[in-house]
Amino acid sequence: MANLKEIVCTPENPFGVEREMSDADQKLYDDLQKQFNDNAANRKLRQIKQLRSDRLKSTDWMSNSDVTMPDYIKTWRQTLRDLPQNNTTESQYDTLLEQNADGSLKNSVWKQPTE
């Protein structure tokens, strides 16, 4: 089967021409695709940890000595910290990362409680 097509610009063709990928570049492309698909769960977990970290950082100021952190914030922060150990499968990651049409996260765990 022929390799996929790519664009190449050179001094002779500064606006680019299409050509078939070399075997080496086709392998690179295939390997990246496989790696991307194989790493789906790790990638989602990394996103979850990033979202968790952002929310913990946004409430870190409440732990200052001159502030009393409300219990509901303490509980929420602990829930966030426990997310990786309480969610270990890709389908659980998908549930945590589910989005509304506007891109906002559906899962209530990401929303800071008010009481």
Partner 1 sequence: MSKTTIPTGGITADAIDATLIADDAISEEHLDATAITGHTALAEAPADTDEFLISDGGVLKRLDASYVGGSDFVRIATSRSSSNTTAVNFDDVFDGSVYEHYRVFGYVAGAVNAGGDMYWRTGGSSGSTYTSSNYVWVQDGRYIDNSGSAGDYHVGTFNDSKFRYATDMKVDNDSAYALFDFLISDPTTNQMSRSYITGTVSWQENTGFQQVTSSFGGRNDSNVNATGLRFQQESNSIAYHHIQIWGYKKS
Residues in contact with partner 1 by CB under 8 A are 4-12, 14-16, 18, 21-22, 24-25, 28-29, 32-33, 36-37, 43, 47, 50-51, 54, 57-58, 97, 99, 102-105
Least gap, CB of 33 to partner 1 (angstroms): 5
Determine contact, residues 51/110, Cβ cutoff 8 Å. yes
Structure-token pair, residue 23: 């075997």
Nearer to partner 1, 28 or 62 (CB): 28
Tokens for 67? 């502030």
Rounded Cα distance between 45 and 28, Å, is 25
* Minimum distance, C-beta of residue 84 to partner 1, in the bound complex (Å): 16
Beta carbon nearer to partner 1, 70 or 107: 107
Q: Which two tokens stand for residue 40?
A: 């789906």
Q: Which is nearer to partner 1, 68 or 113 (CB)?
A: 113
Smallest separation, CB 59 to partner 1 (Å): 12
Least distance to partner 1 from the beta carbon of 95, Å? 14
Q: Which is nearer to partner 1, 32 or 62 (CB)?
A: 32
Residue 82 structure tokens: 């426990």
Which among 58, 94, 96, 92 has a CA at the least distance from the CA of 77?
A: 58
Beta-carbon contacts of 100 under 8 Å, excluding residues fewer than 6 positions away, are 106
